[in-house]
Structure 1
Amino acid sequence: MSKFQWIDNAATERLLEDIRKANRCEFDASALAAAPLLEHAKIIRGYCYALSGVVSGHPRLEDDKEIVTSQLFWMDEELGVCRSMNRWYRLVRSNIKGH
């Protein structure tokens, strides 16, 4: 029987450390500055919470592409940032819409 692992241990540790720092308001300014921008963000619910929106500055996706993020773990609408399973996103604050 194979062992299922959603994400590797290193990715899990990065996610947890980012959430710990965010909860203490200790953001890595350079990481946030390099984070993709997500416009017209909308919370969506499927098997988990995620965001959909139009992305720019993503390291692997083209600009102005509509995407759905990986699972959403942390978000502060007033600061305009969120942490998905894979990365930080900067949010256009006025465009967050509830589910």
Structure 2
Amino acid sequence: MRLQYAPADALSRLAEDLRFVEAGSLPLFDLLETPILYNHRIRRLPVGSLEGIVEGHPKLASGREITTSQVFLIDTDWGLARTLSRWYRLSATAAGVEN
């Protein structure tokens, strides 16, 4: 049996993003293309993840409640989280209601 939890290229992108953050900057990516999680909360599973209502995800319908892949970084000052698969912008407001 062969188990593969994540493709090597996804782990490589994750490691590169975390190196940028450790150096005190964000990687170059377009924040407008980054999905938003509204009313996000940390989910305590065997690995940390987030739950929330997603908007702008490339594979999931907007307005849908989701659980993300494993979280590796959350920065509330920046309002960003990096999961195994992608960045998310974090919003504490209800979906579609911005202050």
TM bucket (normalised to shorter chain) is: 0.7 to 0.9
Q: In proportion to residue count, which structure has more helix?
A: 1
Over 3 Å counting, the alpha-carbon distance change for 1:22 and 1:33 in structure 2 is farther
Structure 1 residue runs of 4 or more that deviate by more than 6 Å after TM superposition: none
Contact 2:51–2:68 (Cα < 8 Å) also in 1: yes
Counterparts of 1:33 and 1:27, CA distance in 2: 14
CA deviations 1:13-68 (Å, max 9, x no partner) are 00100111122232135333311000000001111100100000000111111100
Distance of 2:11 and 2:25 partners within structure 1: 19
1:94 deviates by 6.5
Aligned residues: 94
Partner of 1:32: 31
Q: TM-score, normalised by structure 1?
A: 0.85
**Aligned-pair Cα RMSD in Å:** 1.7
Cross-structure match for 1:59: 58
Structure 2: runs of 5+ lacking an equivalent: 95-99
Which stretches in structure 1 are left out of the alignment for 5+ residues?
none
Q: Identity of counterpart residues, as a percentage?
A: 35
- Secondary structure of 2:58's partner? coil
Q: TM-score, normalised by structure 2?
A: 0.85
Letter in 1 for 2:62: D
